Chains A and B, each alone.
Chain A
Amino acid sequence: MFCLQAGAAMAQAAAGHEFDTAVAALPTASYLEKEELAGRIARSAHPQALTLLRGWLDGKLHADAAGHAYLEGEGGYTDALSGAAATPASPDELEKIGTNNRLRKALKGLLAQFGLASAEPGMRIEAVREMRRELDESAVAALQARLPQETDAAVKHEIELALALAGLASEEPAQRLAAIASLDGDRSTEVYNRLSRMASGDEADADAAVRNAAGAAVRSIDSWRSFYQGVETLFFGLSLGSVLVLAAIGLAITFGVMGVINMAHGELIMLGAYTAYVMQLLMPQNTGLALLLSIPAAFLVSGAFGVAIERVIVRHLYGRPLETLLATFGLSLVLQQLVRSIFSANNRPVAIPEFMSGVWQINDVFSITYNRLYILIFALMVFALLLGVLKRTSLGLKVRAVSQNRGMAKAMGVRTDWVDAATFGLGAGIAGIAGVALSQLTNVGPNLGQAYIIDSFMVVVFGGVGNLWGTLIGGMALGVVNKLLEPYAGAVLAKILVLVALILFIQRKPRGLFPQKGRAAEGH
């Protein structure tokens, strides 16, 4: 026991010496010498060795004129030898201890070997992945040495993968075949690229059996990849669909339920987006809270505009849809110009708060950005809420009553003008909410609404006027079809194709996917 401790202490002292001399030699060494010195530093197993090598790789290792090395950190400089805080005499004269590509590669390899010995499984995985990039003999030896000792399953898997990849490069076809077999089930991009290079092309394997095996493996991965690419396309489609649904659902109320064409609907969306922008201006420190608060704020702003539009213009034009269309179109021009006058014609940035940003990487092929995911969920929530309002509340009852038989509703004491204003306000308010969601996906500018108005109408008409479920399904379907076409036709052509298909569809089924039937529908 004592003996062991003493030995350790002695070794440490020796390491200290080895480390110090190697570091001291660094500032004047050539690149080739530096590589050799780096190896010595790593082998010294000095407690500062890892930090120093990492700092060096990052370009943070400096030396003063006297050859004393410092590491640059967040808060200032530290002594490279001891790790203690230190202040160089003249920071301006410090010179970086440079690296070149070859040296950096060597440093990475050394760091990886360090990592392999780390106590943290996560660090070990990182190290194995790092080593996989350049699997030379020493790395393979290190990994093979590590494998029997490794206890963590994930790390073990990574090491096996690395060894299998190394096996692919083996001279013996049998070993390569074995490596391919052992890679079965691994679908990472790395393996895929390696195997597909082996299966065909300029670098194809010399041995036919290996080529076939690699080919079979590639095909199996291909089908898996195309499945997830399909899932990803579906997600993108649903994401686009959720935006369309958000934009269209307010319209489904004003146009679908009330039968009022509101061409200023897009501008109500735009007002919602600008509300999100203004809320962020009001509380710049807390963008997340600002975004959440802008949802009710946008509802109120756009809703108020909606009520005003209904009371001042639309009310006088009931039963004259074409006139309503023109008047509200004029209004949309005025609103656009108003925004241009107040906020300028340039796009305004709306920050994406922390919790909305980032990517959820599900596997090598399939990842989801959080903002799209949240907006998809948000769209469904808004839809459910609206459905609830229409089906379960007394306002909803009155809205449906007025839309079905205005005269009778009036006779039964429903204040139809109040209901009209409230319905229109509701549709407009939802447009505002849609604007908040859009501010997280696209630029906020005066033309924001214009881009969505035709799409929104198409969604409502496609789904069937007066049918909220139709709007949901119609919007989602259009989004998915659009995204399905995009890889073949390109974004613009896909949009054109969808528009043309819609025009043809409406001509075949003028009442949309889910038409209202019966006498009431016939009468209009």
Chain B
Amino acid sequence: MSTAAEPAAPRPAFKPAPPTPYQVMMREDRPSGVFLTVLAIVTLLVPILHLAVPEGHVLHLSGYTVTLIGKYMCYALLAVAVDLIWGYCGILSLGHTAFFALGGYAMGMYLMRQIGTRGVYGDPVLPDFMVFLNWKELPWFWHGMDVFPFAMLMVLFAPGLLAGVFGWLAFRSRVTGVYLSIITQALTYALLLAFFRNEMGFGGNNGLTDFKDLLGFDLKHPETRIVLFMATAVALGAGYFTCRAIVRSRFGRVVQAIRDAESRARFIGYRVENYKLWLFTFSAMLAGVAGALYVPQVGIINPGEFAPINSIEVVIWVAVGGRGTLYGAVVGAIMVNYAKTVMTDALPDAWLYVLGALFVVVTLFLPRGVVGLLPDLKHKLQTLRQRRARAIST
């Protein structure tokens, strides 16, 4: 997995220029290199095709498509966050969209405060739904959410705090396996019920919507859309790169050791709960960032995002792509969501059958996901070639 530990070979007298980090990555971890390259190309190409190529041209990308790709990238980031804890540490969270949604709500609150007097009721401070509920003043947790840096801090802090408290309780008392999965599901279910309540002060059933602008830029403008898109791409790239660095560090190897033999890791002196807590909280914050980028692109956040089924869907993206490989999570998220977009358009009733079947088929027949097929395929091709070579030589 890692070669960082190899002793440095004696340097030859003549050495061409040392390999760039990019070359190193392409050699050691080709899929990651390929993914980051593709991501960079997409990030540069999409703005050109959307803004520079005139509408009606074959190569023109519509606003819908740009937003769609942006959404897929948010999903991919969420999938990476889930893969980080499930694939590498064996923590199957069935409530990770709770963190996604919390990040989304933090961004939504900022966007709500930006509406100001342009709302239906024209109240300079209170969002429409509060005026509608006859509230007289802003609840304490809405204060400061009109300041962008503070709101962004909350995007990280809110999911991080929840994950921290929850994880501290869960991991310290060694709740593992399916028990943990089920209480994460109960957690998101409880949040779903809570956010449906008007008294919570998050817009109840309707959630937060009718956003106007972000940092003063109109959300409907193509340029804003492109900036959001690029920010999402950068977040995905940076998130991916950070996760990759984490799993390749000694910390990452400890985490994988915990995944494979938790009590053994304790007996050689690792405080397993600290490792899990750190990773879980980091993953939740990553999910929060994905949610915060998702909300301005789709224009709404409501309690439906907390639904347990959403969290389980994320898990299946990761499973389809191949857990335990970060690029697998990305591939899975994009594949399944693309299939969903196409299918819900063409055969809306069949989608749940397909999704359900995916769960069954992947767990029974594809434990390493789609990307797990690639080495198998390569291996088969190789043995076939060898056998043919042997047949020729004899």
Contact = CB atoms under 8 A, between A and B. Distances in A.
Task: Answer whether A and B touch in the complex at a CB cut-off of 8 Å.
Answer: yes
Interface of A: 261, 313, 316-317, 321-327, 329-334, 336-337, 340-341, 454, 457-458, 461, 492-493, 495-496, 499-500, 502-504, 506-508, 510
Interface string B349-376: 1001101111110111001000000000
A502 B179 CA distance: 12
B190 to A, nearest CB: 4
B186 A334 contact: no
27 contacts: A261-B178, A313-B360, A321-B177, A321-B178, A322-B177, A322-B181, A325-B92, A326-B315, A326-B359, A330-B316, A330-B357, A330-B360, A332-B356, A337-B353, A337-B356, A341-B349, A492-B197, A495-B190, A495-B193, A496-B194, A499-B186, A499-B193, A502-B183, A503-B169, A506-B175, A507-B183, A510-B175
Contacts of B362: 326
A495 B189 CA distance: 10
A324 B185 CA distance: 16
Contacts of A496: 190, 193-194
A349 to B, nearest CB: 23
A255 to B, nearest CB: 8
Tell me which of A324, A337, A507 has the highest count of chain B C-beta atoms within 10 A of its own C-beta.
A507
B355 A499 contact: no
Contact of B356 (A333, A495, A500, A504): A333
Contacts of B170: 507
User: From DSSP, what is the main secondary structure of chain B's interface residues?
Assistant: helix
Given A321-B178, A337-B349, A510 B359 contact: no
Interface of B: 92, 166, 169-170, 172-175, 177-179, 181-183, 185-187, 189-190, 193-194, 196-197, 308-309, 312, 315-316, 319, 349, 352-353, 355-360, 362-364, 367
A496 B193 CA distance: 7
A274 to B, nearest CB: 17
A351 B362 CA distance: 41
Give the 5 A-B CB pairs with smallest separation, nearest first: A330-B359, A334-B356, A333-B356, A337-B352, A330-B356
A327 B359 contact: yes
A432 B214 CA distance: 52
A507 B171 CA distance: 8
B1 to A, nearest CB: 23
Contacts of A324: 363
Contact of B363 (A326, A457, A493, A499): A326
Contacts of B308: 454
Contacts of B360: 313, 327, 330-331, 334
Contact of A336 (B92, B179, B181, B352): B352
B2 to A, nearest CB: 26
Contacts of B359: 326-327, 329-331, 333
A333 B175 contact: no
A502 B186 contact: yes
Given A493-B197, A496-B194, A506-B179, A323 B363 contact: yes
A330 B362 CA distance: 10
Contacts of B356: 330-334, 337
Nearest to A313: B360
B352 A334 contact: yes
B160 to A, nearest CB: 18
A507 B187 contact: no
A326 B186 contact: no
Given A330-B316, A330-B358, A336-B352, A492 B178 contact: no
User: From DSSP, what is the main secondary structure of chain A's interface residues?
Assistant: helix
B316 A454 contact: no
A507 B273 CA distance: 13
A312 to B, nearest CB: 9
A503 B183 contact: yes
Contact of B178 (A325, A336, A341): A325
B189 A457 contact: no
Nearest to B358: A330
B358 to A, nearest CB: 7
Given A313-B364, A326-B319, A329-B312, A334 B175 contact: no
B200 to A, nearest CB: 10
A504 B189 CA distance: 15
Given A330-B356, A333-B352, A507-B169, 11 more contacts: A321-B177, A326-B362, A326-B363, A334-B357, A458-B182, A461-B182, A496-B190, A500-B190, A503-B187, A506-B175, A508-B173
Contact of B179 (A330, A340, A492, A510): A510
B281 to A, nearest CB: 16
Contacts of A333: 309, 352-353, 355-356, 359
Contacts of A331: 356, 359-360
Nearest to A499: B190
A336 B349 CA distance: 11
A261 B187 CA distance: 18
A102 B169 CA distance: 69
Nearest to A332: B356
Given A326-B316, A334-B352, A492-B193, A316 B364 contact: yes
Contacts of A317: 363-364
Contacts of A322: 92, 177-178, 181
A337 B185 CA distance: 22
Contacts of A321: 177-178
Nearest to B170: A507
Contact of A454 (B166, B189, B355, B364): B189
A507 B316 contact: no
A504 B197 contact: no
B306 to A, nearest CB: 12
Nearest to A510: B175
Contacts of B312: 326, 329
Nearest to A341: B349
A334 B364 contact: no
Contacts of A495: 190, 193
